[in-house]
Structure formats: structure tokens, C-alpha cells
Structure 1
Amino acid sequence: METHCFAKLRSIHLYSCPRLAFVLPLLWANQRSYLPNLESLHIVNCGDLKTVFPVHPVLKENVLEFPRLKHIHLYELYELQHICEVKMHAPKLEMVWLRGCWGLRRLPAVGGDSRRPVVDCEQDWWENLEWDGLEAGHDPCLFERRHPSHYKELLPRVSVLG
């Protein structure tokens, strides 16, 4: 397979693929950017999906570039652990919308420009994310968080009977 076969791919939209385990393996060891034109990743209700982009073992220590990725929309992916098995850098990221992806622990690094991507997610999920730090462009202060309007703080359990 040639290394440029998905170079023109601009969006990935998958809906209700219950047995899908991964989307697109990234296998070539001589590249930093595999999907240079990918702008949108939209995956809904793929219950067995564990990793969107599995990578070749040679790439495990790399940071992969997604130079045009702007939108990530992931919904009801209960088994999802990784968008990409290695660290990602998406400098043009604008919006991340996540629901029901409780196993996912990382967002792509975004860099340090003044534009902060909006992350619309459950607060409990946000609090469990792993970060590499500001110097790596991967820190919570580089994102603007929004929690769903239906999200409510847990009320203390007390008895009204006294």
C-alpha cells in the first residue's frame, strides 16, 4: 500500500458500526503526518471501537501530526481507549464534542496560539484526562471547556426527616 493513498481524505463519518474495532491503521514508519487533509472525525454508536487509528509498533514513541484536523465528534463509544495509539498534535483543532467515551484519556495536543479549541464533554470525563503539560502544548488551560446543559452538580445526600 502506498503512503499517500489517504492523502486527500478530508472527513471520516461512521455511524452505527457495532463490531468495528478500529478505523484506519497507520503503518508507515517514515511519516509524521498520515492524513494531512483530514478536517473532521465524526464517529457515533460504534460499540466495539477501541482505537480509531492504531499504529505500527515502530511509531509508538512518535507524535503524529494531524495538521488540518478541526472537528472531533465522538458519541457512545463505550470501549474507546485512544483516538490514536500515540500522541497526536492537531494545531487547527476548533471543536471537540464527546459523550459516552469514558475510557478515552487523551485529547490531541494543540500548541500555544491564542485560539483555544472548545471541548464539550461530561465534567467527570474531563477530570480524568491525562496531560503532558503546557510546554508540550497539552494542558487543560489551552482548551475552553463546556459541559452539557443537562449536567448538574451532585447534591449531598441528607435526610429531610431530620
Structure 2
Amino acid sequence: MQKLTPFLISFLLVFGAVACQNPSKTSESAPNNPNEAAQTPDVKATEAAQQDAQSLLRRRQLNEDIRAREERNKVAGDETNRATGDLASEVRSKLEANIPNSALTVKAAENGTVTVGGTVGNQQQLAKIEPLAKEIKGVKKVEVKATVAQPKQ
């Protein structure tokens, strides 16, 4: 046992030193230095993410997520009265999927009032905001403070 103890201690020291050599990153885009600021995504990555959010498949996924949340609330016995964060999130998802090239913000109040601000590309998109938001259970009133802004070229 006396010969084995120094061997085990040296093994632990070597293992600890090797394990501390190179910190692993959670993703390829993560900075090497944890004190380093995160890098902004390039234009192509941003456009790809926006197109993904507006694709038909993504729209279906968002709608299924909304239905699943509503089912969970129904099972819990509370179909329409939910946390304002959940309500705002569901409305934001619905608008993101159905109104392309928009920059909208969503705030929800406890009484079921949802306020939508930001910009959309045209008048038709602006008209879609209220009906889409009211499709979410728990939304009682929609205040549209969004405006039409021409896309930058």
C-alpha cells in the first residue's frame, strides 16, 4: 500500500494538470477566452436564421409549440390565465413566423392585453398583427403600435 499511494497521488496530479490545459468550448463560435466579448453573427448567418424562422416548416413547429402550451394549460385547469411572459412569447412566435422581414416587440399585461411595437414592411403586414395575436388563447386585447417602414437597400 505504501508503494501504491505515491503512484495514485502522482496519477491524480498529472490527470488534474492535463484536464486544466485546454478548456472546452460549448460551440465552435464560443470565444477561446471567457472574458472575451461574444462575436456578432455575420450577415449570411442572420439572414439564414430569419429565413428559417419564416419557413413553412418552422411556422408549423411554432404553431405546434403554441398548441402544446395551450394543452398543458388546459390540463392544469387554466386555459386562458397564464404568465405574461408565456403570452408574450407565444404572440412573438406567431408574428415572427407569419410576418416576414419585420422587427416587432411584444409586451403582455396580466389582464390579457398585448402591445405590439416595432416596424413591418407594408400595410398588409400591419393589418395581420391583430388577427394573428388574437389567435393565441388568453389574448383579450391587442394594441398595435407598430409602423410601416420601408426596407433599407
TM-score, shorter chain, exceeding 0.5: no
Query: Which of the pair has more CA radius of gyration?
Result: 2
TM-score by length of 1: 0.30
